[in-house]
Amino acid sequence: MRHQFVLDKRTNKLLEELASYRDGNRSVIVREAIQLYADMEERLDRIEADPAFREMMAKSDADIKAGRVIAHGEVIRMSRTRSTKRRKR
């Protein structure tokens, strides 16, 4: 089954480079990429359907809404402070 699609220059260059490892067969690369993407989506669906994951996400959402979070910049600062203290030992 033939399909046509338009690629930007960067994606086309990547396709050509990857195809060079498959005797120039771009179709193989496209099929593999689609299968990998579908496999990844299936795995994510299984993860998201896990009751433990859903519970963790609900708790995280509640913590965010309640303000029980530390800003990213503050976490970075704390991490750097700890690293500095460890190096001084």
Q: Do the domain assignments include residue 1?
A: no
Q: Is 40 exposed, middle or buried (0-12, 13-18, 19+ CB in 10 A)?
A: exposed
Q: How far apart are CA 85 and CA 13, in angstroms?
A: 47
Rounded distance, CA 48 to CA 51, Å? 8
pLDDT of amino acid 85: 82
User: CA-to-CA distance for 8 and 5, rounded, in angstroms?
Assistant: 10
Q: What domain range is 80 assigned to?
A: 51-89
**pLDDT tens-digit series, residues 41-84:** 999 999 999 999 999 999 999 999 999 999 999 999 999 999 98
Report the number of distinct structural domains present in the chain.
2
Whether residue 55 sits in one domain with residue 89? yes
Q: Are 37 and 45 in contact (CB under 8 A)?
A: no
